[in-house]
């Protein structure tokens, strides 16, 4: 238990250090990829120190020359470092505005070009999505947790519509990403980190251009079903958890 608590303390200090480094480097380089790559280094060291092994499946489903909207299930505090370290493309996080207000960490997110979504009211949310759609049209890929927040158990929560409005407005394909095994490592409201094995399963892209704002519910259902089916198959096989 003492080792686990030391690991938690080290994680906090290491995260603060790397976030600060990201802010400094962002002023020395105009390339947002530099700051993002610092985040990738942070994530890989954090996973290694926590004795977490990651296997990635389905990389061939990503076209490295196109923009994508990646949508992943969200069950753990470790979903972010796993994706940051092992999703093999340059991407930007789409995250709630509150995260950008965290000292050092939030500043690092801004300097890395990550996109804030203000959900305080409908008008602000619409404006945030419009800005995000323009960024995606200019060639950026983004990643979204369509559940909006972490699940308190292993069940996938209802999806929020914002990400799917963004998809149909930008016309960019959605790539479902299924995370197996992160919940056991660090579920919501737990600070202790458990070692384990995570599988990142990248599914085939789903064309958002086939849908409109009026039919975005069908797109949302299709993406959700892909994620649910993959999680269920993982449980049955036992190799994915």
Do 152 and 163 contact (CB within 8 A), yes or no?
A: no
Q: In 89-232, where do the E strands start and end?
A: 92-96, 115-117, 142-144, 174-180, 196-202
What is the C-alpha to C-alpha distance for residues 6 and 12, in angstroms, rounded to an integer? 10
| Residue in the structure block whose two tokens are 């996973």 | 47
Q: In the chain, where do the E strands start and end?
A: 52-57, 69-72, 92-96, 115-117, 142-144, 174-180, 196-202
Residues 123-165: tens digit of each pLDDT: 777 777 787 888 787 788 899 999 988 888 888 999 999 889 9
Residues 185-230: tens digit of each pLDDT: 988 878 888 999 999 999 999 999 999 999 999 999 999 999 999 9
Do 76 and 99 contact (CB within 8 A), yes or no?
A: no
Q: Which residues 6+ apart lie within 8 Å of 204 measured at CB?
A: 58, 61, 175
What is the C-alpha to C-alpha distance for residues 172 and 209, in angstroms, rounded to an integer? 7
Residues 151-162: tens digit of each pLDDT: 888 889 999 998
Quickly name the fold that domain 2-237 has: Glycerol-3-phosphate (1)-acyltransferase (3.40.1130)
Burial of 90-115, coded b for 16+ CB within 10 Å and e otherwise, reads ebbbbbbeeebeeebbbbbbebbbbb
User: Which of 168, 98, 101 minimizes the C-alpha distance to 137?
Assistant: 168
What is the C-alpha to C-alpha distance for residues 201 and 26, in angstroms, rounded to an integer? 31
Over residues 91-101, mean pLDDT = 81
Question: How much is the pLDDT for 59?
Answer: 94
CB atoms within 10 A of CB 129: 20
Q: 71 falls in which pLDDT band (50, 70, 90)?
A: very high
User: Which of 192, 185, 199, 188 minimizes the C-alpha distance to 240?
Assistant: 199
What is the C-alpha to C-alpha distance for residues 58 and 121, in angstroms, rounded to an integer? 37
């Amino acid at each position: 238990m003492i080792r686990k608590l030391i690991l938690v303390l080290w994680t906090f200090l290491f995260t603060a250090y790397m976030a600060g480094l990201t802010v400094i480097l962002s002023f020395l380089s105009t390339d947002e990829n530099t700051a993002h790559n610092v985040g990738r280094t942070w994530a890989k060291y954090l996973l290694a120190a926590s004795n977490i092994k990651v296997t990635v499946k389905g990389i061939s489903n990503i076209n490295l020359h196109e923009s994508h909207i990646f949508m992943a299930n969200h069950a753990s505090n470790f979903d972010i470092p796993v994706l940051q370290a092992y999703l093999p493309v340059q991407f930007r996080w789409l995250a709630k505005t509150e995260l950008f207000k965290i000292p050092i960490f939030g500043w690092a997110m801004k300097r890395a070009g990550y996109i804030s979504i203000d959900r305080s009211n409908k008008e602000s949310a619409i404006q945030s999505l419009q800005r995000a759609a323009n960024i995606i049209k200019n060639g950026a890929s983004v990643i979204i947790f369509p559940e909006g927040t972490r699940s308190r158990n292993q069940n996938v929560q209802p999806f929020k519509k914002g990400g799917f409005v963004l998809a149909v407005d930008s016309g960019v394909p959605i790539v479902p990403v299924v995370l197996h095994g992160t919940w056991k490592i660090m579920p919501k409201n737990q600070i202790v980190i458990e070692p384990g094995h995570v599988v990142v399963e990248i599914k085939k892209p789903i064309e958002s251009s086939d849908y409109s704002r009026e039919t975005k519910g069908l797109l949302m259902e299709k993406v959700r079903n892909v994620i649910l089916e993959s999680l269920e198959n993982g449980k049955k096989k036992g190799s994915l958890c």
